[in-house]
A and B are shown apart, each in its own frame.
Chain A
Amino acid sequence: MSDIKIKITDREGILHEIDAPTDMNMNLMEIVRSYELAPEGTIGICGGMAMCASCQCYVKSGHELPEKSDDEEAMLSEAFNVEDNSRLGCQLHITEDMEGLEVELAPEEL
């Protein structure tokens, strides 16, 4: 069992430094939900299928992350508030390479 440290800035601008397990088959969206950093029903709406953009986040640190799949790319092309460093949290599987990752949750689409 090994945890990594991740810094997540929530939608209110509050920074959370949290421990994320690498051995529980979790993605970043699920980490955010497990720590309740965004209200239930406002994140992970599609359940992690890259079919909504409710888990969009901005990657602030220089980590090399896995490339976007076609599904993620397509969803981000239709999402709002998209920046060059936008990713879908549900498509980022937590691995040891992500130690020290810093992300900020994108605003909720209204």
Chain B
Amino acid sequence: MIKTDILIIGAGPTGLFTVFEAGLLKLKCHLIDALPQAGGQCSEIYPKKPIYDIPGFPEVMAGELVDNLMEQIKPFQPGFTLGERADTIEKLDDDSFVVTTNKGTKHNAPIVAIAGGLGSFEPRKPLLDNLAKYEDNGIAYIIKEPEVYRDKKVLLAGGGDSALDWAIFLADVASEVTLVHRRNEFRGALDSVEKVQELKNLGKINLITPAEVIDLNGAETLESVTIQKTDSKENIEIEVDNFIPLFGLSPKLGPIADWGLEIEKNAIKVDNTLDYQTNIPGIYAIGDVNTYPGKLKLILCGFHEATLMCQSAYQRIFPDKKYVMKYTTVGGVTGFDGSKKEAPKAVVKSIN
């Protein structure tokens, strides 16, 4: 069981900044995120896009903002459970919470801060009959163990970087790689597109465009797929062992919706007059995942909410302690790793 002071669900900008504010109060944090890397939407959806409304940054790339936040919170040694989705929550007799992920990892903390943004990112599934029947029987949406596909006939669908990158990688592993996309154009890094072209010319990747998978066939497991060419409407049946649709990810509020929290407009209702606490004492919701009158889904608002929430969390953990907020310029920043940053002392020396 992982134990911490504040368990943060969601490692986007709001969740990451919470670690800093908690750290100033000497509270330790652990973050859970369904994505394999920190940064949330900023890393997953638009890392190369600029943001213009982060105070003090006239322009910053979303990915760069995440890198900066990671650097800023490093002294506070946050723990991470990445690539796992927070599934269930349970309250113990001591009023602390146990959050268990879809992979069974358990986390225990007196405070839970949900900074889940739009929810956890789940693969977008194509609309095909019998799709569920073949899931884990030939169809997968995420490639976890590439070796599974050794000497198999694999069909990939999609037009983005992940479809291109996996087609390139699997060309050396699988016995046959087919890539199907609805357009002739691919939206990916230029060198990936060129590499796929090269592998196609070498006959190592069978490229079918513009086309779409329209049917799945097989008694128990997937045996073949039917592909329709978009221009000629001609149907082609291809024997495959595996079909991997790579159509990106879309966010879903997911299991958090069943935690007994008050939900309104796909967001968690919180007390914005005080500390962004939910209807369950000890559980807070900050950033894009919460709602209150006048709510704005902005990163800068998430930072503010995280800051106030940490003060409330501190009072909850230490009801008898009196705390006076100290400016970092005055008090410096003392990390849990022993590092200390502080303003240089002024030199008092007479000038003769």
Q: Which residues from chain A sit less than 8 Å from chain B, CB to CB?
A: 39-42, 45-47, 49, 51-52, 54, 73-74, 77-78, 80-81, 109
CB-based contact A52/B160 at 8 Å: no
CB-based contact A39/B265 at 8 Å: yes
Q: Which residues from chain B sit less than 8 Å from chain A, CB to CB?
A: 41, 45-46, 49, 118, 124, 126-127, 158-160, 181-183, 185, 187, 247-248, 250-251, 253, 265-267, 291, 297
**Given A51-B46, A77-B181, A78-B158, residue A40 in contact with residue B266 (CB < 8 A):** yes
Mostly helix, strand, loop or mixed at chain A's interface?
loop
**Given A49-B45, A78-B247, residue A39 in contact with residue B266 (CB < 8 A):** yes
CB-based contact B127/A81 at 8 Å: yes
| Contact pick for A41, options B160, B247, B265, CB 8 Å | B265
Rounded to whole angstroms, the CA-CA distance of A51 and B253 in the bound complex is 18
Tell me the minimal C-beta distance from A77 to chain B in angstroms: 4
CB-based contact B266/A41 at 8 Å: yes
**Given A39-B266, A81-B127, A109-B124, residue A74 in contact with residue B187 (CB < 8 A):** yes
Which B residues lie within 8 Å of A49 (CB)?
45-46, 49
CB-based contact B159/A78 at 8 Å: yes
Rounded to whole angstroms, the CA-CA distance of A82 and B297 in the bound complex is 29
Tell me the minimal C-beta distance from B264 to chain A in angstroms: 9
CB-based contact A45/B251 at 8 Å: yes
CB-based contact A40/B265 at 8 Å: yes
CB-based contact B45/A42 at 8 Å: no
Tell me the minimal C-beta distance from B295 to chain A in angstroms: 10
